[in-house]
Structures are given as structure tokens and as C-alpha cells.
């Protein structure tokens, strides 16, 4: 079991966390214009690299907040964990 550094709570044991898959998958800006293939890629397709991967994790047994992590999927080492960037406000 490894320690994961929650950006709010600090290092905690892995069992406190929940995995949320790839980070930065944005909801389509113009959903009505999406083709079936575009929808398939938004809903089902995610990157699956052997190496560095930007992911979402949740400190579900602690502060219960989501954060972004960069992790190596080959060594499982966490390279960074950061608070999510604030969403851009669209007018």
C-alpha cells in the first residue's frame, strides 16, 4: 500500500482514496452537434498509456474532495497531486 498526498490533507494511505480515471475530459461544448462517433469517444474512449497519466482521484475517506494526479502507470509512482484548476467561466 502506498501513501498518496492529498492536496488538502497531506499523505494518507491508499485505501482512503477512490480512483476516477483520466483527468481533463471536458463535457462537449456543443453537445447537439456531436456525431455518434464523437459521443462514443466522449463516453467510452479514454487514454490508456503505459507511463505518465493525468488522472482524477478522490480522497473519499477523508476530505471527500477530488484532485488531479500525475502518475506513472508502469511504476505506479505518483509524480504530483494538485488541487483541480478552477473552471473557466464562460459567458
Partner 1 sequence: MTTNPPGADLPEHPDFLWRNPEPKKTYDVVIVGGGGHGLATAHYLAKNHGITNVAVLEKGWLAGGNMARNTTLIRSNYLWDESAAIYEHSLKLWEGLEDDLGYPILFSQRGVLNLAHTEQDIRDSVRRVEANKLNGIDAEWLEPDEVKRICPIINTSEDIRYPVQGATYQARAGIAKHDYVAWGFARRADEAGIDLIQDCEVLGFTVDGDRVTGVRTSRGDIGCGTVALCAAGHTSVLLDHLGVRAPLQSHPLQALVSELLEPVHPTIVMSNAVHVYVSQAHKGELVMGAGVDAYNGYGQRGAFHIIERQMAAAVELFPVFARAHLLRSWAGIVDVTPDASPIIGHTPYENVFVNAGWGTGGFKATPGIGWCYAHTIAHGEPHPYVAPFSLGRFTTGALVDEHGAAAVAH
Beta strands at 3-6 and 78-82: parallel, antiparallel or unpaired? unpaired
Binding residues for partner 1 (CB under 8 A) = 1-2, 14-15, 18-19, 21, 36-37, 39-41, 43-46, 48-50, 53, 55, 71, 73-76
In the complex, least distance from residue 44 CB atom to partner 1, rounded to whole angstroms: 4
CA dist., res. 90 & res. 45, Å (int): 26
In the complex, least distance from residue 68 CB atom to partner 1, rounded to whole angstroms: 14
CA dist., res. 67 & res. 23, Å (int): 9
Nearer to partner 1 (CB atom), residue 52 or residue 90:
52
CA atoms within 13 A on the CB side of 85: 6
**Based on C-alpha coordinates, what's the Rg of the chain?**
15
In the complex, least distance from residue 60 CB atom to partner 1, rounded to whole angstroms: 11
Amino acid at each position: 500500500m502506498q501513501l498518496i498526498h492529498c492536496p488538502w490533507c497531506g499523505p494518507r494511505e491508499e485505501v482512503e482514496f477512490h480512483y476516477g480515471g483520466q483527468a481533463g475530459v471536458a463535457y462537449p461544448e456543443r453537445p447537439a452537434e456531436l456525431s455518434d462517433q464523437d459521443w462514443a469517444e466522449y463516453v467510452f474512449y479514454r487514454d490508456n498509456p503505459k507511463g505518465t497519466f493525468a488522472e482524477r482521484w478522490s480522497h473519499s475517506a477523508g476530505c471527500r474532495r477530488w484532485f488531479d494526479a500525475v502518475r506513472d502507470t508502469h511504476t505506479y509512482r505518483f509524480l504530483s497531486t494538485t488541487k483541480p484548476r478552477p473552471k473557466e467561466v464562460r459567458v
